[in-house]
Amino acid sequence: MESGDKSNNIDGRIKQLETQISELKFELEEKTELFNREQEKRLFYQLVADFTFGWELWFDPSGKINYCSPSCIDLTGYTANQVLESPSLSELLVYVADREKFEGFLHNALSQDLINPSLEFRIMTRTRQMRWCLFTVRGVYNREGRYLGIRGSVQDITKLKNALGRINDLSTGKELENRHRERLKSELEIKERELVTFLLQLSQKNELIAKLTQQLKTISEDNLKNGSEKIQKLLYLLENTRNEPVDWNMVEIQLEKLHPGFMTRLLLKHPKLTSKDKKLCACLKLGLTSKQIAGLNNLTPQSVEVTRVRLRKKLKIAHDTRLVNYLAEI
Protein backbone atom coordinates (compact mmCIF):
# COMPACT_ATOMS: atom_id res chain seq x y z
CA MET A 1 0.00 0.00 0.00
CA GLU A 2 2.77 2.33 0.93
CA SER A 3 4.75 1.46 -2.21
CA GLY A 4 1.68 2.25 -4.32
CA ASP A 5 1.29 5.70 -2.74
CA LYS A 6 4.96 6.42 -3.39
CA SER A 7 4.59 5.39 -7.00
CA ASN A 8 1.59 7.67 -7.40
CA ASN A 9 3.46 10.58 -5.84
CA ILE A 10 6.39 10.08 -8.18
CA ASP A 11 4.10 9.92 -11.19
CA GLY A 12 2.38 13.12 -10.08
CA ARG A 13 5.69 14.85 -9.57
CA ILE A 14 6.89 13.78 -13.00
CA LYS A 15 3.74 15.13 -14.63
CA GLN A 16 4.14 18.36 -12.71
CA LEU A 17 7.74 18.71 -13.86
CA GLU A 18 6.76 17.89 -17.42
CA THR A 19 4.15 20.64 -17.27
CA GLN A 20 6.71 23.11 -15.92
CA ILE A 21 9.21 22.10 -18.62
CA SER A 22 6.55 22.59 -21.26
CA GLU A 23 5.74 26.05 -19.89
CA LEU A 24 9.44 26.94 -19.74
CA LYS A 25 9.91 25.81 -23.32
CA PHE A 26 6.97 27.94 -24.44
CA GLU A 27 8.29 30.94 -22.49
CA LEU A 28 11.77 30.39 -23.97
CA GLU A 29 10.34 30.26 -27.48
CA GLU A 30 8.44 33.52 -26.87
CA LYS A 31 11.54 35.24 -25.49
CA THR A 32 13.68 33.87 -28.31
CA GLU A 33 11.19 35.21 -30.87
CA LEU A 34 11.09 38.57 -29.07
CA PHE A 35 14.90 38.65 -28.93
CA ASN A 36 15.14 37.87 -32.64
CA ARG A 37 12.65 40.64 -33.37
CA GLU A 38 14.66 43.06 -31.28
CA GLN A 39 17.81 41.95 -33.07
CA GLU A 40 16.16 42.57 -36.43
CA LYS A 41 15.06 46.02 -35.27
CA ARG A 42 18.55 46.77 -34.00
CA LEU A 43 20.04 45.57 -37.28
CA PHE A 44 17.55 47.70 -39.24
CA TYR A 45 18.28 50.87 -37.29
CA GLN A 46 22.00 50.10 -37.35
CA LEU A 47 21.86 49.82 -41.14
CA VAL A 48 19.89 53.06 -41.36
CA ALA A 49 22.46 54.82 -39.16
CA ASP A 50 25.52 53.27 -40.81
CA PHE A 51 24.41 54.06 -44.36
CA THR A 52 23.31 57.65 -43.92
CA PHE A 53 24.71 59.97 -46.57
CA GLY A 54 25.80 62.57 -44.02
CA TRP A 55 28.10 62.10 -41.08
CA GLU A 56 26.09 61.16 -37.96
CA LEU A 57 27.34 61.33 -34.36
CA TRP A 58 25.95 60.54 -30.90
CA PHE A 59 27.55 62.13 -27.85
CA ASP A 60 26.70 60.99 -24.33
CA PRO A 61 26.12 63.71 -21.68
CA SER A 62 29.84 63.70 -20.76
CA GLY A 63 30.85 64.44 -24.37
CA LYS A 64 32.10 60.96 -25.20
CA ILE A 65 31.18 59.77 -28.70
CA ASN A 66 28.93 56.70 -28.44
CA TYR A 67 28.33 56.35 -32.15
CA CYS A 68 29.98 57.56 -35.36
CA SER A 69 28.60 56.65 -38.79
CA PRO A 70 31.00 55.11 -41.34
CA SER A 71 30.20 57.92 -43.79
CA CYS A 72 32.62 60.14 -41.86
CA ILE A 73 35.43 58.73 -44.01
CA ASP A 74 33.93 60.37 -47.13
CA LEU A 75 34.08 63.79 -45.51
CA THR A 76 37.13 63.57 -43.25
CA GLY A 77 39.30 60.73 -44.55
CA TYR A 78 39.20 59.11 -41.09
CA THR A 79 37.33 55.87 -40.32
CA ALA A 80 34.58 55.67 -37.68
CA ASN A 81 36.90 53.69 -35.37
CA GLN A 82 39.61 56.35 -35.65
CA VAL A 83 37.09 59.03 -34.69
CA LEU A 84 35.77 56.94 -31.76
CA GLU A 85 39.29 56.23 -30.48
CA SER A 86 40.45 59.82 -30.78
CA PRO A 87 40.77 61.58 -27.39
CA SER A 88 39.52 64.87 -28.92
CA LEU A 89 37.38 65.31 -32.03
CA SER A 90 38.31 69.01 -32.08
CA GLU A 91 42.07 68.34 -32.14
CA LEU A 92 41.70 65.54 -34.67
CA LEU A 93 39.67 67.42 -37.26
CA VAL A 94 38.65 70.99 -36.53
CA TYR A 95 40.63 73.81 -38.16
CA VAL A 96 42.74 75.58 -35.52
CA ALA A 97 41.04 78.97 -35.97
CA ASP A 98 37.58 77.38 -35.41
CA ARG A 99 38.36 75.08 -32.46
CA GLU A 100 37.34 77.51 -29.74
CA LYS A 101 33.91 78.20 -31.21
CA PHE A 102 33.40 74.48 -32.00
CA GLU A 103 34.22 73.42 -28.44
CA GLY A 104 32.00 76.19 -27.03
CA PHE A 105 29.14 75.11 -29.28
CA LEU A 106 29.52 71.45 -28.29
CA HIS A 107 29.69 72.34 -24.58
CA ASN A 108 26.49 74.42 -24.79
CA ALA A 109 24.77 71.68 -26.79
CA LEU A 110 25.60 69.04 -24.19
CA SER A 111 24.46 71.42 -21.43
CA GLN A 112 21.24 72.06 -23.38
CA ASP A 113 21.96 75.81 -23.39
CA LEU A 114 21.94 76.32 -27.15
CA ILE A 115 19.85 79.02 -28.82
CA ASN A 116 20.93 78.22 -32.39
CA PRO A 117 21.30 74.44 -32.93
CA SER A 118 23.61 74.86 -35.96
CA LEU A 119 27.25 75.82 -36.42
CA GLU A 120 29.36 76.43 -39.52
CA PHE A 121 33.01 75.51 -39.04
CA ARG A 122 36.03 74.26 -40.97
CA ILE A 123 37.84 70.95 -40.77
CA MET A 124 41.21 69.72 -42.03
CA THR A 125 40.83 66.31 -43.65
CA ARG A 126 43.33 63.51 -43.33
CA THR A 127 44.84 64.65 -46.66
CA ARG A 128 45.13 68.24 -45.33
CA GLN A 129 42.27 69.66 -47.34
CA MET A 130 40.09 72.35 -45.80
CA ARG A 131 36.32 71.85 -45.94
CA TRP A 132 33.38 73.83 -44.64
CA CYS A 133 30.86 71.88 -42.54
CA LEU A 134 27.41 72.51 -41.06
CA PHE A 135 26.99 70.86 -37.63
CA THR A 136 23.36 70.48 -36.47
CA VAL A 137 22.47 68.94 -33.09
CA ARG A 138 19.44 67.94 -31.05
CA GLY A 139 18.91 66.29 -27.65
CA VAL A 140 18.35 62.52 -27.31
CA TYR A 141 15.95 61.07 -24.66
CA ASN A 142 14.68 57.57 -23.84
CA ARG A 143 11.02 56.64 -23.44
CA GLU A 144 11.06 57.63 -19.79
CA GLY A 145 12.42 61.08 -20.73
CA ARG A 146 15.94 60.52 -19.39
CA TYR A 147 18.56 62.65 -21.14
CA LEU A 148 20.96 60.47 -23.16
CA GLY A 149 23.12 63.14 -24.81
CA ILE A 150 22.96 64.77 -28.24
CA ARG A 151 22.67 63.57 -31.80
CA GLY A 152 24.73 65.51 -34.34
CA SER A 153 24.64 65.64 -38.14
CA VAL A 154 27.56 67.04 -40.14
CA GLN A 155 27.07 68.14 -43.76
CA ASP A 156 29.73 69.22 -46.26
CA ILE A 157 28.87 72.78 -47.41
CA THR A 158 32.19 73.60 -49.11
CA LYS A 159 30.66 73.93 -52.59
CA LEU A 160 27.90 76.16 -51.26
CA LYS A 161 30.42 78.38 -49.48
CA ASN A 162 32.55 78.63 -52.62
CA ALA A 163 29.49 79.46 -54.72
CA LEU A 164 28.38 82.16 -52.26
CA GLY A 165 31.91 83.52 -52.24
CA ARG A 166 31.93 83.76 -56.04
CA ILE A 167 28.52 85.43 -56.02
CA ASN A 168 29.75 87.97 -53.45
CA ASP A 169 32.89 88.54 -55.52
CA LEU A 170 30.79 89.04 -58.64
CA SER A 171 28.45 91.39 -56.81
CA THR A 172 31.38 93.35 -55.42
CA GLY A 173 33.06 93.40 -58.81
CA LYS A 174 29.86 94.52 -60.50
CA GLU A 175 29.35 97.26 -57.92
CA LEU A 176 32.93 98.46 -58.42
CA GLU A 177 32.48 98.30 -62.17
CA ASN A 178 29.29 100.36 -61.94
CA ARG A 179 31.03 102.91 -59.73
CA HIS A 180 33.96 103.07 -62.13
CA ARG A 181 31.59 103.46 -65.08
CA GLU A 182 29.67 106.24 -63.31
CA ARG A 183 32.91 108.00 -62.40
CA LEU A 184 34.15 107.82 -66.00
CA LYS A 185 30.80 109.02 -67.26
CA SER A 186 30.91 111.95 -64.86
CA GLU A 187 34.47 112.78 -65.90
CA LEU A 188 33.55 112.64 -69.58
CA GLU A 189 30.56 114.89 -69.01
CA ILE A 190 32.78 117.40 -67.23
CA LYS A 191 35.36 117.28 -70.03
CA GLU A 192 32.65 117.67 -72.64
CA ARG A 193 31.25 120.69 -70.80
CA GLU A 194 34.75 122.16 -70.54
CA LEU A 195 35.41 121.65 -74.26
CA VAL A 196 32.05 123.08 -75.28
CA THR A 197 32.55 126.02 -72.89
CA PHE A 198 35.96 126.70 -74.38
CA LEU A 199 34.60 126.61 -77.93
CA LEU A 200 31.68 128.83 -76.95
CA GLN A 201 33.98 131.37 -75.37
CA LEU A 202 36.17 131.33 -78.46
CA SER A 203 33.12 131.69 -80.68
CA GLN A 204 31.78 134.60 -78.63
CA LYS A 205 35.15 136.29 -78.61
CA ASN A 206 35.52 136.01 -82.38
CA GLU A 207 31.94 137.19 -82.86
CA LEU A 208 32.54 140.22 -80.62
CA ILE A 209 35.75 141.10 -82.40
CA ALA A 210 33.96 140.84 -85.75
CA LYS A 211 31.19 143.17 -84.57
CA LEU A 212 33.63 145.71 -83.17
CA THR A 213 35.67 145.61 -86.33
CA GLN A 214 32.59 146.24 -88.45
CA GLN A 215 31.46 149.11 -86.23
CA LEU A 216 34.91 150.70 -86.24
CA LYS A 217 35.06 150.42 -90.01
CA THR A 218 31.77 152.33 -90.21
CA ILE A 219 33.01 154.97 -87.77
CA SER A 220 36.30 155.17 -89.63
CA GLU A 221 34.57 155.72 -92.96
CA ASP A 222 32.40 158.45 -91.45
CA ASN A 223 35.46 160.17 -90.04
CA LEU A 224 37.74 159.49 -92.95
CA LYS A 225 37.79 163.13 -93.92
CA ASN A 226 38.90 164.10 -90.42
CA GLY A 227 41.52 161.27 -90.42
CA SER A 228 40.99 159.82 -86.97
CA GLU A 229 44.34 158.16 -86.20
CA LYS A 230 43.17 156.55 -82.94
CA ILE A 231 40.30 154.75 -84.64
CA GLN A 232 42.61 153.59 -87.42
CA LYS A 233 45.09 152.15 -84.90
CA LEU A 234 42.32 150.37 -82.96
CA LEU A 235 40.88 148.98 -86.18
CA TYR A 236 44.32 147.73 -87.21
CA LEU A 237 44.74 146.01 -83.86
CA LEU A 238 41.36 144.26 -84.05
CA GLU A 239 41.91 143.12 -87.64
CA ASN A 240 45.19 141.49 -86.66
CA THR A 241 43.89 139.74 -83.55
CA ARG A 242 40.36 138.71 -84.41
CA ASN A 243 41.14 135.49 -86.29
CA GLU A 244 42.13 133.29 -83.40
CA PRO A 245 42.25 129.82 -84.98
CA VAL A 246 40.65 126.72 -83.43
CA ASP A 247 43.03 123.87 -82.66
CA TRP A 248 41.04 121.21 -84.49
CA ASN A 249 43.52 118.47 -83.62
CA MET A 250 42.81 119.16 -79.94
CA VAL A 251 39.07 119.15 -80.65
CA GLU A 252 39.29 115.78 -82.44
CA ILE A 253 41.36 114.26 -79.61
CA GLN A 254 38.87 115.42 -77.00
CA LEU A 255 35.96 114.28 -79.17
CA GLU A 256 37.49 110.79 -79.38
CA LYS A 257 37.75 110.67 -75.57
CA LEU A 258 34.17 111.81 -75.15
CA HIS A 259 32.66 109.74 -77.99
CA PRO A 260 35.12 106.89 -78.74
CA GLY A 261 35.12 105.79 -82.39
CA PHE A 262 32.62 108.43 -83.57
CA MET A 263 34.77 109.86 -86.36
CA THR A 264 35.89 106.37 -87.47
CA ARG A 265 32.29 105.13 -87.70
CA LEU A 266 31.25 108.32 -89.48
CA LEU A 267 33.96 107.96 -92.15
CA LEU A 268 33.18 104.26 -92.62
CA LYS A 269 29.59 105.18 -93.46
CA HIS A 270 30.52 108.32 -95.40
CA PRO A 271 34.10 108.05 -96.70
CA LYS A 272 33.79 111.07 -99.06
CA LEU A 273 33.43 113.70 -96.32
CA THR A 274 35.87 116.60 -96.56
CA SER A 275 37.89 118.16 -93.74
CA LYS A 276 35.30 120.96 -93.41
CA ASP A 277 32.51 118.37 -93.26
CA LYS A 278 34.28 116.54 -90.44
CA LYS A 279 34.75 119.77 -88.48
CA LEU A 280 31.07 120.62 -88.86
CA CYS A 281 30.07 117.10 -87.76
CA ALA A 282 32.34 117.40 -84.70
CA CYS A 283 30.76 120.70 -83.69
CA LEU A 284 27.25 119.32 -84.14
CA LYS A 285 28.14 116.18 -82.17
CA LEU A 286 29.23 118.47 -79.32
CA GLY A 287 25.87 120.26 -79.46
CA LEU A 288 27.00 123.63 -80.86
CA THR A 289 24.45 125.82 -82.66
CA SER A 290 24.91 127.38 -86.10
CA LYS A 291 25.63 130.75 -84.51
CA GLN A 292 28.30 129.29 -82.25
CA ILE A 293 29.87 127.36 -85.14
CA ALA A 294 29.89 130.57 -87.17
CA GLY A 295 31.80 132.36 -84.42
CA LEU A 296 34.45 129.65 -84.37
CA ASN A 297 35.02 129.78 -88.11
CA ASN A 298 34.56 133.55 -88.62
CA LEU A 299 31.47 132.94 -90.77
CA THR A 300 27.93 134.17 -90.69
CA PRO A 301 25.20 131.93 -89.23
CA GLN A 302 23.57 131.93 -92.69
CA SER A 303 26.74 130.46 -94.20
CA VAL A 304 26.74 127.71 -91.60
CA GLU A 305 23.09 126.92 -92.35
CA VAL A 306 23.94 126.55 -96.04
CA THR A 307 26.82 124.25 -95.12
CA ARG A 308 24.50 122.16 -92.98
CA VAL A 309 22.08 121.74 -95.88
CA ARG A 310 24.92 120.56 -98.10
CA LEU A 311 26.06 118.14 -95.43
CA ARG A 312 22.56 116.65 -95.14
CA LYS A 313 22.63 115.95 -98.88
CA LYS A 314 26.03 114.26 -98.63
CA LEU A 315 24.84 112.10 -95.76
CA LYS A 316 21.58 111.36 -97.59
CA ILE A 317 19.47 111.98 -94.49
CA ALA A 318 15.68 111.64 -94.73
CA HIS A 319 13.67 114.88 -94.59
CA ASP A 320 11.98 113.91 -91.31
CA THR A 321 15.31 113.24 -89.56
CA ARG A 322 17.26 116.02 -87.85
CA LEU A 323 20.96 116.22 -88.68
CA VAL A 324 21.88 116.45 -85.00
CA ASN A 325 19.83 113.32 -84.16
CA TYR A 326 21.41 111.39 -87.03
CA LEU A 327 24.92 112.20 -85.80
CA ALA A 328 23.96 111.39 -82.22
CA GLU A 329 23.14 107.80 -83.24
CA ILE A 330 26.49 107.18 -84.92
pLDDT for 113: 83
Residue 107 lies in a domain: yes
**Are residue 174 and residue 301 in the same domain, yes or no?**
yes
**Are residue 190 and residue 104 in the same domain, yes or no?**
no
Q: 150 has which bridge partners?
A: 59, 139
Q: What CATH number is given to the structural domain containing 67?
A: 3.30.450.20
Residue 236 lies in a domain: yes
**Are residue 60 and residue 74 in the same domain, yes or no?**
yes
Rg (CA), the chain: 49
How many distinct structural domains can be found in the chain? 3
**Are residue 169 and residue 145 in the same domain, yes or no?**
no
Cβ(124)–Cβ(95) under 8 Å?
yes
Diameter of the chain measured on Cα atoms: 192
**16: number of Cβ within 10 Å:** 10
Residue 123 lies in a domain: yes
Residue 2 lies in a domain: no
**Are residue 79 and residue 99 in the same domain, yes or no?**
yes
**Are residue 179 and residue 284 in the same domain, yes or no?**
yes
Residue 69 lies in a domain: yes
Select from 138, 156, 174 the last residue of a domain.
156
Residue numbers of the domain that contains 124: 55-156
pLDDT for 226: 52
Q: Which of the residues in the chain have pLDDT under 70?
A: 1-8, 40-52, 165-176, 180, 187, 190-205, 207-209, 211-213, 215-246
**Are residue 235 and residue 324 in the same domain, yes or no?**
yes
Tell me the C-alpha distance between 131 and 168, whole Å: 19
Angle at 285 between CA 283 and CA 286, to 5 degrees: 65
**295: number of Cβ within 10 Å:** 26
**Are residue 212 and residue 320 in the same domain, yes or no?**
yes
Angle between the 275-285 and 301-315 helix axes, to the nearest 10 degrees?
100
Residue 319 lies in a domain: yes
**Are residue 174 and residue 317 in the same domain, yes or no?**
yes
**Are residue 171 and residue 320 in the same domain, yes or no?**
yes
Select from 156, 187, 207 the last residue of a domain.
156
Q: What letters, b where the CB count within 10 A reaches 16 and e where it falls short, cover 86-113?
A: eeebbebbbbeebbeebbebbebbbeee
Angle between the 301-315 and 290-297 helix axes, to the nearest 10 degrees?
110
Residue 1 lies in a domain: no
**Are residue 100 and residue 126 in the same domain, yes or no?**
yes
pLDDT for 151: 92
Select from 99, 133, 156 the last residue of a domain.
156
Residue 64 lies in a domain: yes
**Are residue 193 and residue 231 in the same domain, yes or no?**
yes
Tell me the C-alpha distance between 26 and 31, whole Å: 9
**249: number of Cβ within 10 Å:** 8
